[in-house]
Structure 1
Amino acid sequence: MPDAESPPPFHQDLGGRWQLAGTVSEAWRFLRLHTELEQPIGAFARTAWIPARVPGSVHDDLIRAGLIRDPNFGLASLQAEWVSARQWVYRRTFRVELPGCRRLQLRFDGSDYGGQVYLNGERLGALAGTHTPVWFDVSGLDVGAEHLLAVVLAEPPPEDGQLGRTSRTHTLKPRYGYGWDFSTRLIHVGLWRGVTLLGDQGTALRDLHVRTHLREDHHHAEVDVQLELDGDPQAPITAELTHPDGRVERQQVVGRTCRFPLADPELWWPVGLGGQPLYRLRAWVDGAAPLETRFGVREVQLVHNVASLARGARPYTLQVNGQPLYARGFNVVPADLLPGREGMAGRERRLVELAHAAHANLLRVNGVGGLASEAMLDRCDELGLMVWQEMPLSSSGSDNVPPDSPEFLAALERDLPALVRGARHHPCVVLLGGGNELTDEQRQPASEHQPTLARIAAIIAEHDGTRPFVPTSPSGPEYDLRPEVSLERPQDQHDVHGPWHYRGVHDSYRPYSVSRALMHSEFGCQAASREATLRRYLTDGPVWPMDDRNPQVVHHGDWWLMRHRIEEVFGPVEDLGRYVRLTQAVQADVLRHALACNRARPDECSAALVWQLNEPWPNAHNTSVIDYDLNPKLAYYRCRELNAPVALHLGLPGLPGPVAAGALTLQPRVLADRPGHGQLSVTLHDLNGGVVHHQTGPIGWPAAGAPFTVALPDGPALLRAELHGPDGTRLTRTEQWVAHDRPQPFAPLATLGDTTLSVERQADRLLVRNTGTTTALWISVEGPPGAAEPDDSGFSLLPGEQRHLGVMWVGPHGPLTVQALNTLPLDLHWSAP
């Protein structure tokens, strides 16, 4: 039996150190780069090879060799666009370390994009698309000889960027690198997945498909295993099932299937509903490498709620193991513009952990990118985050029509099965989609009857068939969240997208206040990245001004400029630090409002997913809540607040935003996963910290509390609420700045006098005090990139107030920087215990 703790036998990793050289067109063939290790001195310059890493990225190799600047910095990506206009030759030598094998096979797990493979100067064949494994039989290689393996990557296929035509798409290569609102144009190329030499005695397993069937009583299940055998069809196969508690069952079968019945199976649950036990299935034939996969036992469906059934809409409520749930979370895009960049797996796991810490239970892996990586899906399996995986097909500016050319359909047949197989064993993947924002010629959301989407659905059913499928999102009949539709034709608001831009204190809020959507699978608001991130990456000139007069700011996010909007609300702003904090404050406030309004409609709305969790490239302005350096922006903490098991919605019925004409009408509501009751206190403070209004009273939920009116002082005011349980324990808190509805309503905040803070470490907690005489506005707590996770950030402290925060370190300890809009930064060095 193979040893589970050691590298599998009959397996030789050919990753690691390679060499790389670029050529124009087929100069590599003329120079014999694929056949000869040495070139003679002559009229033609000898090729300068650079060290390369496999799996990896051509761009990453060129950065390490000093041949291009890192495209994250300044305008450097403009000088790196030539990389995708070259053909690239990878090569390495190796010796066979698998003696005694009758058959040798060379496997490429994925290349970006395609290529030709040569072994000892002889062409083996072609590689497929970005995601598709390819095998070559290389039996008979001399075990004692050194062999030259070369891969020639052609120029990547021409595809449209975001402002193009979906109908002209040729391949399933993710299009975000061709130029998108959240990334520059930088088309990735490279051997970005593994290369392996496999040996066997003439028969081996090629694929392993585990399907679980959970009975209605949840006390019985079957694990059906489908085995794909290459070689002798009568070869005995050993299949070994390891239970979450360590128990092992084993079967030996002849054929392509086996079954393990489970009594009282340990069920996999989404976070908040139960645990995440995982089973493991390992199978092998004698004399060949084993295959292994990890899986969970669970049943997932899309079911109706009362509103979707009444409207004749699709079902939108996720139900896992018979338990319907409210889905909340984020849209996710690739973790880096160069997916082959070193350290990607760690970045991806960290993003999942941050989403989990923000109380998300669903991540939508948007069709602008590719399949979520194994590292990301593994971490979602372990933490209970559900995944909605879309196929890599997305909208465009001129049309969103799914392509139907023979070239695309051939790529679909070749490459889509590998994408489906890459996701099907992960219990976290609960929903598969045909693509993002696909429509017909009239821009009406496409259905599963559209021929290309029908074929995608058929391929998914053939290679999985265990999960719900949705053709696209939004699913119509209306594409966008529009107030006039919500008010006049609410029955047409099913799954909708938008809005995404900050449009001031009225139009940024109103769509959510009147929304009647059954699912809100994409919406957002932009802000600037953290000041430290801006100063780190905008290196080709001054960072200020943050508008279209600054070429770097335009290059790093030309869709999301907002200085004019900020000044409509706060008056003129001429300071980078203040500008950054004000943009992040409004993003946080809009997303909190959107999440609260959606969650406050539990019988109507099934899901709310913020656009977006992360960004793959350091933008100056963006719609992400975590910046490129993996440090959260202020909006992340408001998403964490509103997605928590218990949250507060202050409920401003009819109000177009955080402004009012003289008085606020509030109708507080507790947003909770379970019914309950407690004590709610609401307080309104003026700018000096004085109490304008205070009241305390009982509240029960899920019903909304009774409405009441609060008169506003002349200037902006801080509205706060706290909820305590029956035993006096504080369950949640919230705060929001409000003001009179007038031009530049929050200008007094932008010009508020300076105050002072003090910070002190107390064990694993941070004590922050406002030691001055002025309210400290939007206090942030930031650590080194991706290293520290404070409990909260973006809160205000009145004069004399203090706040304790927990700080969890997930990277090397270092300084914490604490700063408000109107204070100087304070650094506290936090050494490891």
Structure 2
Amino acid sequence: MELSLTKLSWEVKGYWPYVPIKEKSMETGQTLQGVTGWIPAHIPGGVHYDLWKAGLIEDPYLGQNSLKCEWVENRWWMYRTSFPAEMNGCDLRKERVILRFLGLDYEAEVFFNDVSCGSHVGMYTPFEVELTGKIQEENRLLVLMKGIPHEMAQIGFTSQTFTQKSRFNYKWDFSTHLVNIGIWQDVLLHVPEEAELAELHVDSGLSGKAGQIFLAGKTAAIQTKTTQKLSVKVTLEGPLLLESKDVSALKAMAEERAMAEGRAMAEGRAMAEETRKKADTVRLAWTIPVRDGAFSETLEVEGPALWNPNGAGKPWLYRLKLELEDESGQVLDRKEKLTGIRSLSMEQNEDAPAGALPYIFVVNGRKIYVKGVNMTPLDHLYGNVTDQQYEHMVAAMVNAGVNLVRVWGGGLIEKEVFYDLCDANGILIWQEFIQSSSGIDNIPSQRPEFLELLKETAITAVKEKRNHVSLAVYSGGNELMEAPDRPCGYDNPNIAMLKEIVEQYDGRRLFLPTSASGPREYVTREKGVSHDVHGNWSYGGNPGHYELYGQSDSLFHSEFGMDAATSVKSLKKFLPESSLHPTPMVEDQNWQHHGEWWGTYFRDCELFGSIAKTPENLYLFTRCSQYMQGEGLRFILESDRRRAFHNSGVIIWQINEPWPNSSCTNLVDWYGETKTAYYQTKRVYEACHISLDYSSLNLSGSEPAEMQVYVENDGAAFDAAVRVRIQDLSGTLLREDQSSVQIPENGSCRIGSLSVDPAGRDLIFITLLLETQGRCVSENTYVFGTGKPEVFAPLRKTPGKVEIRSVIWKDGQNGRKMVLVTVKNTGERAVLDAGVELKTEGYALLGTDNDRILFPQEERTFSFLLIPKDFGGFAETGNYDGTIQPELEAHWL
């Protein structure tokens, strides 16, 4: 039995370092006071949030307030609570009781009934205290947090890191210096049974048409009299489809919209049929003997419903129930696990250089092109993040067509709820251990105290995460290098230790030495040396951006991105009014404090023409910035994907951010607002995608521009028609071509070439449409200029205008709302990124589509799901209060 203590009344108080240990002044004999009084505390959580709720600090996410909060990490903090001897009908005085902390951040000493029970270091390893025989009628629990270690920020020396504290807290390009301290995960009283199930290991595979579940574990005898024979009764029930409600709603909306527009794919109907076919529940049972305190068995399941990554099928799960029984049949312990049945392997990339690691993910015998995102921690103060925030982030991934998330080594080994959500929604996980680059040197630390902490963290993480069907691969950490641009290999002692841990405690998944891996760290035009590469993270200029990625021959691209300013709506929430104008980062301290690496002002002026630094131009600036993020990112994604399966995947840096940035490489901001690049990514990540290969945004020249047309297809082969429409800024149709093609199965193919003569036009719009059986499968529009260097300046000669023409609301479950919005270009020129956003607070908005190019008098209908916010920590200020009526507005460039 486990009793959570998080719902008890907790308080926290701040002290100068060592004062709680000394208690009284040796000079005066007076009791030494704290720097705060006792204030209410939230568990799990962090001290900063409690101080803010008590009015002792300002909101650190606003302006430069985080600078005023740096004193917090330099104090010691004492938590206290109390509980009675009898809880939930159990008299703890008569039981064995173990106090268990799942996450103390970072160094702590625990006192029970005024007696020290021990100390702990490390935020990822649980800490247990034996309370048996110490329980009184009323019990006092004190937890003393001893400040934070002074670890490396982003710029420093990886070789000198000495802790397993998440380093992004100390300052990274997408974060500030705001270091969490507190009790960030659950606190439990564990009342063990006579014998218990322990160290479960669950994984799965396929043998022909039969599914296999590999089950192993140990038993812990709590009482010495437990010498009788034990067995484990196993029951398997399923299949179960446990997708998040928001994921199910978004998928239903997408199917409905596709049907309405004549775009419903045969795969969609087949998927619905599969859902009906697999709905019948099966129940299977086995009994496994326990020998020498351990058990293992391979369970056979005939004709199982398979777990699939997002886009490849349904993520079917099974419920595994385990009961530990004695000889008489008495149940001593029970556990439940959700698992999926799937095969997972890694294959060599097509035409890979000799010695390259395998980067093709093969699930259920089928190659999966990775359409990934990197995820940072959801908040600086991660203890206050709610389950709903994780649900929303995973829903945003699924909605965008993502099938893999990389849990980055400079952040967190995430809470279990995140991995459960990935299991339920078909998101593969690339899990890194807590190590990252540092800029000055990136050599993995070999300090003895660090290696011991890393070992403890890694063993704990592998034992905990290995039971998730979504877990696909481990990595030693982020950007670990032996020398500049030279990733570490398996021969590095630090990496070798981690590899051995993965092999010993998992043994079924690939361990990569680091990300990136291979001869080179960074993307390059040089041939034969790009295995898994990183970079770049900003626009490379016109034509440099297109030449670099168009000529890359990487096998995998596990980190890269494009930066953009956040929306005006979000900027107004955290920047003072004096900063609400376009600016280079170096000219405004508030902008710089919220993302100094990522200013796009000069880039956007170069492409769109000069933008005056006045408040009335802020909207123009953010829209230009976000368009270029989407344009630059689309080209990288398409360039890599059209080389499938020589290149086997992409992982965008990054889907989210842990605090509000004025400009950053994220697709979704801290408030839950999507950028244009989110929907551009969603279109590129569709199951079947048509794309254009080009080398410049300029079409000027004496000869017509030659471009190649490609189709990337995850599904079965099919016959299709390709339509190409070429228009100018006014929407005038200059040319339309059509041809018939055959699209091969699960890969990429060039289906034709295109010669384009700009014919004296300022801007040229090329729309590609892929159709089958009269239905549009994929639509993609590109914009090219004929002037240098301000390619898109002609857009600003004539104002654009987009209006919302109709809004149809429908109430959903749990406060959700669904809305169908029709927007129309009522102006005289084409507009970029015509779409819809929320004017009001309280909801997060996810759509089946958004931010499209519209020509004069053209309409487009979008479907959106409005999700009431239930965010934690400082993000709670934007939560739904039960009264907010949502309002929508159009945006465009």
Q: CA deviation at 1:212?
A: 3.3
1:323 aligns with 2:394: no
Deviating beyond 6 angstroms after TM superposition, the runs of 4 or more aligned structure 1 residues are: 40-43, 285-289
Cα distance change, pair 741–282 in 1 and its aligned pair in 2 (3 A): farther
Aligned to 1:694: 736
- Name the CA distance, whole Å, in 2 between partners of 1:288 and 1:57: 37
Query: 319, 340, 352: which is aligned to 2:383?
Result: 340
1:89 maps to which of 66, 73, 78: 78
Matches within 5 A, 1:480-495: 480-483=522-525, 485=526, 490-495=527-532
Q: CA deviation at 1:220?
A: 4.6
How far did residue 12 of structure 1 move?
4.8
* Equivalent residue for 1:680, pick from 696, 700, 722: 722
Partner residue, 1:111? 104
**2 CA distance for matches of 1:428 and 1:739?**
44
Q: Please say if 1:193 is aligned against 2:193.
A: no
- 1-structure distance, mates of 2:792, 2:678: 22
Q: Could you say if the C-alpha distance between residues 681 and 334 of structure 1 is closer, same or farther in structure 2, counting changes exceeding 3 Å?
A: same
Letter in 2 for 1:520: H
Which residue of structure 2 lines up, in the alignment, with residue 160 of structure 1?
152
Whole-angstrom distance in 2 between the partners of 1:767 and 1:455: 57
1:135 aligns with 2:128: yes
Match among 159, 162, 169 for residue 161 of structure 2: 169
The structure 2 residue matched to 1:367, chosen from 409, 414, 422, is 409
Deviation of residue 11 (structure 1)? Answer: 3.3
2:643 corresponds in structure 1 to 601
- The worse-fitting range, judged by mean Cα deviation, of 758-767 and 519-528 is 758-767
CA distance in 2 between partners of 1:252 and 1:645 (Å): 43
- Cα deviations by residue, 1:771-820 (Å, 9 ceiling, x for unpaired): 23333332131125652222322222222111111222333684343334
The one-letter amino acid paired with 1:211 is V
Answer whether contact 2:201 2:463 (CA < 8 A) is retained: no
Unaligned runs of 5+ in 2: 239-280, 810-818, 869-879
Which residue in the other structure is 2:471 paired with? 429
Structure 1 residues 596 and 616 mapped into 2: Cα distance closer, same or farther (>3 Å)?
A: same
Alpha-carbon deviations, 1:660-699, whole Å to 9, x = none?
5363322211111132221111112111111222212223
Amino acid at match of 1:535: K
Cα distance in structure 2, aligned partners of 1:324 and 1:720:
30
Distance 1:766 1:442, change over 3 A: closer
Measured in 2, the distance between the counterparts of 1:26 and 1:202 equals 41
- Deviation digits for residues 337-392 of structure 1 (CA, Å, limit 9, x no counterpart): 11012x43211221111111111111111111111321211111111110101111
CA 1:532 to 1:785, structure 2 compared with 1: closer, same or farther past 3 Å?
A: farther
Contact preservation (8 Å) 1:686, 1:716: yes
User: Secondary structure, in 3 states, of the residue corresponding to 2:596?
Assistant: coil
1:730 aligns with 2:730: no
Q: Which amino acid in 2 is paired with 1:524?
A: G
Are 1:521 and 1:607, in contact at CA under 8 Å, matched by a contact in 2?
yes
Give deviations 1:26-63, integer Å, cap 9, x for gaps. Answer: 11123389xxxxxx998957961000011111111111
CA contact (8 A) 2:399 2:848 kept: no
Counterpart residue identity of residue 42, structure 2:
R
Other-structure match for 1:827: none
1:122 and 1:202 mapped to 2: Cα distance? 28
Partner letter of residue 566 of structure 2?
S
Cα shift at 1:323? 1.8
For residue 438 of structure 2, what is the amino acid of its counterpart?
Answer: S
Alpha-carbon distance in 2 for matches of 1:289, 1:62: 41
Aligned to 2:522, the other structure's residue is in SS state coil
Q: Is the 8 A contact 2:582 2:601 kept in 1?
A: no
Does the alignment pair 1:720 with 2:767?
Answer: yes
Post-superposition offset of 1:573: 1.0
Query: Aligned partner of 2:161: which letter?
Result: T
Say yes or no: does 1:312 pair with 2:369. Answer: no
State the SS of the aligned residue for 1:601.
coil
Equivalent residue, structure 2, for 1:518:
555
What displacement does 1:237 show? 5.4
Which SS does the other structure have where 2:299 is aligned? strand
TM-score (structure 2 length as normaliser): 0.85
In 1, distance between residues paired with 2:734 and 2:490? 56
Q: Is this contact kept in 1: 2:579–2:591, CA < 8 A?
A: no
What is the root-mean-square deviation of aligned Cα atoms in Å? 2.4
SS in 2 for 1:772: coil
The equivalent residue for 2:544 is: 507
Q: Distance in 2 between matches of 1:793 and 1:800?
A: 17
User: Partner of 1:826 in structure 2?
Assistant: none
Question: Is 671-680 or 811-820 further displaced after alignment?
Answer: 811-820
Give the counterpart of 1:21 among 8, 13, 18: 13
What does residue 122 of structure 1 align with?
A: 115
Q: How many correspondences in the alignment?
A: 796
- Cα 1:502–1:708 change in 2 (3 A) is closer
Structure-2 residue corresponding to 1:661: 701
Q: CA deviation at 1:647?
A: 1.0
User: Which of 66, 74, 91 lines up with 2:55 in the alignment?
Assistant: 66
Q: Is the 8 A contact 2:820 2:861 kept in 1?
A: yes
> What amino acid is aligned across from residue 708 of structure 1 in structure 2?
L
Q: Does residue 302 of structure 1 match 2:302?
A: no
The residue identity in structure 1 corresponding to 2:308 is W
Secondary structure at the counterpart of residue 615 of structure 1 = coil
Contact in 1 for aligned 2:346/2:510 (Cα 8 Å): yes
Question: Distance between the aligned counterparts of 1:64 and 1:323, measured in 2?
Answer: 51
Partner of 1:819: 890
1:242-298 residue CA offsets vs partner (Å, 9 max, x unmatched): 322362536374432143622314432212333322232434577976443322222
- Given residue 229 of structure 1, which amino acid in structure 2 is its aligned partner? A
Secondary structure in 2 matching 1:307? coil
> Whole-Å Cα distance in 1 between the matches of residues 523 and 8 of structure 2?
49
Deviates more, 1:421-430 or 1:505-514: 505-514
Q: Is 1:804 paired with 2:804?
A: no
One-letter amino acid of the structure 1 residue matched with residue 780 of structure 2: T
Cα distance change of structure 1 residues 390 and 142 upon mapping to structure 2, 3 Å threshold = closer
User: 1:467-498 deviations in whole A, cap 9, x for unaligned?
Assistant: 11101011120111122x1xxxx111111111
Give the 3 Å change call, closer, same or farther, for CA 356–201 of structure 1 in structure 2: closer
Residues 14 and 537 from structure 1, CA distance in 2 versus in 1: closer, same or farther, beyond 3 angstroms? closer
Distance 2:75 2:669 in 1: 31
* Pair 756,278 (structure 1): closer, same or farther in 2 beyond 3 Å: closer
Query: Does 619-628 or 320-329 show the bigger shift?
Result: 320-329
Q: Deviations over 1:441-487 (max 9, x none)?
A: 3441000110000001111222212211101011120111122x1xx
SS at match of 2:751: coil
* Contact 1:777 1:820 (C-alpha < 8 Å) held by counterparts: no
What's 2:849 paired with?
792
The aligned amino acid for 1:183 is S
2:567 paired with 1:578:
no
Task: Tell me what 1:479 maps to.
Answer: 521
2:237 to 236, 243, 250: 243
Alignment of 1:385-396 (within 5 A): 385-396=427-438
Which residue pairs with 1:537 in the alignment? 574
CA contact under 8 A between 1:529 and 1:620: conserved in structure 2? yes
Structure 1 unaligned residues grouped into runs of 5+ = 1-8, 34-39, 823-833
User: Would the aligned equivalents of 1:755 and 1:775 in 2 still touch at CA under 8 Å?
Assistant: no
Deviations 1:595-637 (A, max 9, x none): 1111111131011111111111100000011111112100011
Alpha-carbon deviations, 1:512-556, whole Å to 9, x = none?
111100101111110001111111111374222432211100000
Partner of 1:670: 711
Give the equivalent residue in structure 2 for 1:557: 595
Task: Tell me, in whole angstroms, the C-alpha distance in 2 between the residues paired with 1:814 and 1:502.
Answer: 39
The Cα shift of 1:657 comes to: 3.9
The answer to whether residue 678 in structure 2 is matched with residue 636 in structure 1 is: yes
User: Which secondary structure state, in structure 2, belongs to the residue aligned with residue 588 of structure 1?
Assistant: helix
Identical amino acids, percent of aligned pairs: 29
- Secondary structure of 2:462's counterpart equals helix
